[in-house]
Amino acid sequence: MKLDRGLAGIVAAVMLTAMSSAWAAVPRMVETAPGVQIRVLDAGAKDAALTLVLVPGWRFTADIWREQIDTFSGRYRVITLDPRSQGDSTKALEGNTPEDRAADLHTILDRLHAGPAVLVGWSQGAQDVGAYVGKFGTSNLRGLVFVDGAPAQGWEKAVAAPGLAQQLQRISQYARNSREATEGMVRSVFRTQRPKLELERLIADAMKTPPTIAAAMLEDDIFGPDRMRPLAKADVPALLIAADASPNAADLAALANVLPKALPVKSIAGAGHAVFVDQPKAFDAVLSAFLGQLQEDAQSSQ
């Protein structure tokens, strides 16, 4: 049976509405430096009590946070982005360090007139959150969230780590065979079975970062300055979320010891590295409780 054009148009519109209603955030480009445009998604009320800022991992984009945009934009303002040289943001030939990405984020929050913010960094995003606090402090922040990743502890620590050879091999693989390495990387962050179309979209997004830039980013993330030590001065509550059996457990434990107001690490069962995609309900419940407590504390201090 064939649909006439009018009915087909209605069906297409309904399907498009159903797809877009799950995360009603219109993308925009924000200039953060001369020649650098960052793709940003901004959802929820602009005058919300808190702004939830979601920072994705290495070569992922704002779209990885679809579930969280849908869940939290009804109560909070939610801002997420394609970091510099990732997704549809400008591919910069230099300035691809966590410190540069932190400066981009600071400019975005300023230009969008974001209210009190909670920074959520996943994987590489944890480096960016650490760099942000190191550069700009916490005066405009209400909380920090680190998701299955912790800021680097300096190149000396990285060189002494038992997995150094593996890390160097990984960088070489991405530079030499980016497509194969990207497919493996994207699949490896999940423990649950993901739809084929979703994986293809994530791989295509990750491939938008040129291999040489991707390798440089990864190298500075691992072997850059100590971004954990400055967090000892962070005077806001911090939530640490990990996948169960996470290979980053030791780094998260070290981070919990550095942060003055860190809560005990929350482990999410049945999740891979992309905790919030594998187990979104469990992840969202933990994050929601943290945000609710921040609001209660703010109200009681007034």
Share of the chain above pLDDT 70, in %: 89
27 domain residue, yes or no: yes
214 domain residue, yes or no: no
Report the chain's mean pLDDT, rounded to a whole number: 90
59 domain residue, yes or no: yes
pLDDT per position as a tens digit, 251-291? 999 999 999 999 999 999 999 999 999 999 999 999 999 99
Above 70 in pLDDT, residue 15? no
pLDDT at 199: 98
Above 50 in pLDDT, residue 13? no
pLDDT at 162: 66
218 domain residue, yes or no: no
CATH number at residue 58: 3.40.50.1820
Containing domain of residue 290, as a range? 21-153+226-300
The CA-CA-CA angle for residues 87, 223, 166, to 5°, reads 85
44 domain residue, yes or no: yes
Paired tokens of 201:
């979209």
pTM: predicted TM-score of the whole model, two decimal places: 0.90
Domain count, the chain: 1
61 domain residue, yes or no: yes
280 domain residue, yes or no: yes
The better pLDDT of the pair 23, 219 is held by 219
60 domain residue, yes or no: yes
> For residue 60, what are the contacts with CB-CB under 8 A and spacing of at least 6?
86, 87, 123, 202, 205, 206
pLDDT at 157: 78
Three-state DSSP at 272 gives: coil
Least confident of 113-122, 191-200, 215-224: 215-224
Closest CA to 32 of 84, 80, 78: 84
